[in-house]
């Protein structure tokens, strides 16, 4: 486009042969993506250089499935969810059905009983936030094989014990898994390399709220790295936490940006910091 306009007039001009109601339905069904984000507002402003993508099927924005789990984005190839704490990513010997995988499988089978979903990456049971699923084994394999290249941004927020002195820092160690399946810091070269960057967002009530960016994606990386600097994630008894002001693990996958496996476009999703995280920073008498 060559001049500023709004989304609906732009779509009318782009699809002159379609009825106005059918064009509006593209927005209602979440089939319009501007700058990597699904847009449903008719008056969304467009400026020269904005890229508008039309999805073949509707994306679903913030559709709650059950147990607090929401679909943030869906198209023919992928699903992005906002997983609540306490929900497993995939089945274990003790829990088969109350999992993100099982809930999403039921969701896609409502349209076609042959449809399936495939986990691209996992979140711990007690970690909340953004998680990516594929709709075919080909897309799953492609995303997993290119994960380090495909992921543009991946950030968490962590509520940790104590007042972290440095406003920002990097934790660069090697990690290894014990016989009890607990990760620990080991000597260089004797395990897997792990790098975590953090920045303090707020401090208060003997706690710190951190923005955490992963340079590598190792099992329990944030949890063991926070323990290694003396600031365990709250609610994380396995990795040294004494406090549990949230009644859950203080870890939330807030931001996920990646290259779409089919279109190649960069998609970016961000969720709000859980209110309970900020509330825990305030003195009890406030």
Catalytic residue annotation: 124
Report the SS3 class of residue 259.
Answer: strand
Residue bearing tokens 């949890």: 223
Report the SS3 class of residue 183.
Answer: strand
Q: How far apart are CA 102 and CA 109, in angstroms?
A: 11
Q: How far apart are CA 115 and CA 183, in angstroms?
A: 36
Are 238 and 257 within 8 A, CB to CB? no
Q: How far apart are CA 45 and CA 35, in angstroms?
A: 12
CB-based burial of residue 49 (10 Å sphere; 0-12 exposed, 13-18 middle, 19+ buried)? exposed
Task: Indicate the Cα dihedral angle 184, 188, 192, 198, nearest 10°.
Answer: 70
Q: How far apart are CA 229 and CA 163, in angstroms?
A: 11
Count of beta carbons in the 10 Å neighbourhood of residue 183: 22
Strand partners, 185: 175
- What is the enclosing helix (H) or strand (E) of 25? helix 20-28
> What's the start-to-end Cα distance of the chain, in Å?
52
């Amino acid at each position: 486009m060559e001049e500023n306009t709004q989304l609906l007039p732009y779509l009318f001009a782009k699809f002159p042969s379609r009825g106005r109601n059918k064009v509006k339905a593209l927005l209602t069904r979440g089939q319009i993506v501007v700058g990597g984000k699904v847009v449903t507002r008719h008056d969304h402003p467009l400026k020269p250089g904005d890229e508008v993508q039309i999805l073949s099927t509707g994306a679903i924005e913030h559709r709650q499935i059950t147990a607090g789990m929401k679909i943030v984005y869906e198209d023919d190839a992928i699903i992005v969810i906002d997983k609540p704490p306490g929900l497993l990513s995939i089945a274990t010997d003790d829990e088969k059905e109350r999992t993100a995988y099982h809930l999403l499988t039921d969701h896609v089978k409502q349209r076609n009983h042959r449809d399936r979903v495939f986990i691209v990456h996992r979140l711990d049971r007690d970690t909340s936030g953004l998680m990516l699923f594929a709709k075919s084994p080909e897309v799953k394999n492609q995303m997993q094989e290119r994960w380090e290249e495909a992921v543009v941004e991946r950030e968490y927020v962590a509520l940790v014990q104590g007042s972290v002195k440095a406003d920002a820092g990097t934790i660069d160690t090697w990690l290894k898994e014990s016989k009890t399946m607990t990760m620990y810091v080991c000597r260089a070269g004797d395990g897997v390399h792990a790098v975590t960057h953090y920045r303090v967002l707020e401090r208060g009530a003997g706690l710190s709220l951190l923005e955490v960016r992963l340079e590598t994606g190792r099992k329990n990386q944030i949890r063991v790295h926070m323990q290694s600097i003396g600031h365990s994630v709250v609610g994380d008894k396995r990795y040294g936490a004494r406090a549990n002001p949230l009644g859950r693990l203080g870890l939330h996958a807030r931001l996920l940006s990646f290259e779409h496996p089919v279109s190649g476009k960069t998609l970016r999703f961000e969720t709000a910091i859980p209110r309970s995280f900020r509330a825990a920073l305030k003195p009890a008498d406030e």
